[in-house]
Structures are given as C-alpha cells and as structure tokens.
Homo-oligomer: A and B are copies of this chain.
C-alpha cells in the first residue's frame, strides 16, 4: 500500500506554525510497513487542494489530509473534498450532540459557528474526536481511500491512533517494517560513530543528534512481525553492548522515567534545588505520572537570599566562590536534601545567559551537585548555545548524573 500526506493550512505553509503532523503520520505508517511517497503542504485554497488530491490519487492508494476542519470561514477542506466526491453535507445528530457535550463539559454554551462541524458528507465514515469538535472523516472509494483529520496535533494523533491506524493496518497486510530508537547521552555523535564503526553494516542505522544526546535509529524489514522483532533485537543488543553506559533507554523511555523506576525500586526519595534552570528539572522529573511516590519537592533559589535562607549556603562561601561554583552546588544539594528529609538531593547552579557572565565564568558554565547519606559530589560543565538550550542541557546532565549515581556507574571522587 502506498500513501501520500497532504497538510492544508496557510499558517503552516507560510511558516507561522511548524507542521508536526506529517512526521507523526509518516513514522506511524512506516511502522505498519506502509509506504509514504510524498508529503505536500498547501494553502487553504480550493483549486490547489483539488489539484493535489487528484494528482495524489493517481500515485497512491490512500491520501491522508490534515487541517482545515475548523469552524471558521478559512476552513474549507471538508467542503472541497465533499464537492470533489459529489457528496451532500447533512447535519449529523450524533456529531452535533458530541460537540454540544464538549462545550457543556467546559461550562460554555456552544457557539453557533460550531454547528457547521456537525455537517457530514453522505457516505463518510465518522472517526470520533474525543478531544475536540471536528471529527475525522474516511471515504473508501473505488479509486482510493481519502482520510480527513483535524490539524490540531493532539486531536489528530488521538484519532489516528484510535481509528486510522487499525483501519490501514487491516487494509495493508504485507511485509512489516520495524524500528527502534536507542537513546544515548554524554557522548558526541563522532565518538559514538567511531565506537560503533565495526557493526554499522549489520542493519539500517541512522544517527540523530540532539543537543541533549544522540539517538540511534535502527530499521529492519521482515516477512512476519516475529522475524522482524528477532532481527531488531539482534542488532540493538549488539549496539547497546558497544554503547555501554552512555545508553539509557529505547523508544519512549526517557531519562526521567528510568530514574523514576530506579528510585521506586529502591524506595528512595528525591529533593531538588535549582537556580539557573528555575524549575525545569523538577518539571521534567514530574513528567512521569506517579512521580509523587519518590519526588518530595524542592526549591528554586533564583536569588541569593533564597540560597542562604532555605538551603543554608553561607554568605562567606557565596562571596569567596560565587553562586556558580562546585562548592555552592554541593551545599545546595546537601541543603535541599536535609530541608526535605530526602534520600537524594540534586542541585543546579549556572549562568544561562545572555547576561551574568564574568571574566572567569562564561555563559554556559553550570555546576551540578548530588548528595546522599554517604557523600556529596559536584561536577562542572560548559554548555554551548543559548539560554534555552543551555538550560535543557543542564537538566539532561543533572538527570544523567542522578541515573549514574543510582546505578553506581560513576565514581564519587572529585
């Protein structure tokens, strides 16, 4: 089965919004072994929509369209596709009720314009949208399949996963393509490339560098799901073995999830003191549902007053070493651990920029401390980039330091 994706919307085409829908749909289709031939991004214009739809149907078995299903005048996707298929739009009571219920839950009267979203082309299969007001629509025609999805990414993803994916999987059959993403952190792309040079020929391997680490994506094709899984496991085991302790997880696994599992298993608790990252570490730790089991809380000590009052950093030390120093990071980690009576204390203090640098302390300098009942340790980093990326790299490094401490794979010596 061959597909094409059409993304409709002036705001996407003109770059006001970066499209993330096509990438999601394409990677999901690839997992099913369904070929994606092309993605086009086009304006909310009847003529262009019709032209793209027609030429797409000449090449592909199914066309997936996102965007332009909203209630306002510039949303013309449904109208245009219905006209192309010569289908009348009919008010659907069930959909209307869904939309009314959606607003009722929010405690809002349904605005009149939303009625238009309950107009459904005759013969269309309705794909429920539990998060919004525009349902997805599916047309199974002689010349191909046409699927319309809303442009709001959360709504699109939900409808795609719940309805479109099982439908297309059933239609496609054939070979399966499986892939796995292996996450690493603390090592550069070229170091990793050299480490893995001997086994790069064993499969389709791609390096995807991000500034918080390098992902490695393995893709295999096989006749059955089982053979595919075996092939994938063989390659990924080889790779993970070589990557050693820079590897922290695969696919949906994140550093914060890995840490959550380690802390839960050991029945240990965590408290955090953040300065330059100002809450981003704690926000990340609590991305994991149920993190209240091991995360007690913490302090954002953006001002020195907060460092002194809550974390017991001495005025003298601040003057001698400066707020961004390994010494202050250690006191902060100890301080928050004792304040919250936690098993582990983590601290981050640094200069995120653009201001705040001095002659010997540049933008990007970050000190991270870790404390438990046995020892306290701190480490100094120099992160490249701007405010936002420096803060993200600092959080990633702090998470990795905690992971290594929990696994006992980093020495505590300074």
Contacts and interface: CB of A to CB of B under 8 A. Distances in A.
B17 A23 contact: yes
Nearest to A303: B296
Contacts of A295: 278, 302-303
Contacts of A386: 154
Given A111-B191, A283-B277, A389-B154, A297 B296 contact: no
A278 B282 CA distance: 6
Nearest to A389: B154
Interface stretch (A139-147, A203-211, A231-239): A203-211
Contact of A300 (B105, B188, B297, B389): B297
Interface string A169-207: 000000000010100000011110110000010000011
A152 B209 contact: yes
**8 closest pairs, A vs B, by CB?**
A279-B279, A15-B27, A111-B190, A15-B26, A279-B282, A297-B306, A15-B23, A278-B286
Contact of A200 (B52, B73, B286): B73
A408 interface: no
A296 B302 contact: yes
Contacts of A376: none
B15 A22 contact: yes
Interface in A7-25: 10-20, 22-25
Given A14-B27, A113-B190, 14 more contacts: A13-B38, A18-B19, A37-B43, A38-B52, A40-B41, A106-B382, A152-B209, A154-B386, A154-B389, A286-B302, A289-B354, A298-B299, A298-B300, A303-B340
A72 B195 CA distance: 13
Nearest to A30: B14
Contact of A40 (B39, B302, B341): B39
A298 B307 CA distance: 11
A199 to B, nearest CB: 13
28 contacts: A11-B217, A12-B23, A13-B26, A14-B36, A15-B22, A15-B23, A15-B30, A16-B206, A16-B208, A16-B217, A22-B41, A38-B48, A41-B41, A71-B193, A72-B193, A74-B207, A106-B382, A113-B193, A154-B385, A274-B279, A278-B295, A279-B280, A279-B283, A283-B283, A286-B302, A289-B353, A297-B300, A297-B305
Contacts of A161: none
B206 A74 contact: yes
Nearest to A285: B278
Main secondary structure of the interface of A (DSSP, over half): mixed
Interface residues of A, number: 106
A242 interface: no
A19 B13 CA distance: 12
A90 interface: no
A179 B306 CA distance: 43
Contact of A278 (B209, B217, B283): B283
A4 to B, nearest CB: 10
A382 B107 CA distance: 9
A287 interface: yes
Nearest to A152: B209
B16 A190 contact: no
Interface in A32-80: 36-43, 48, 52, 70-74
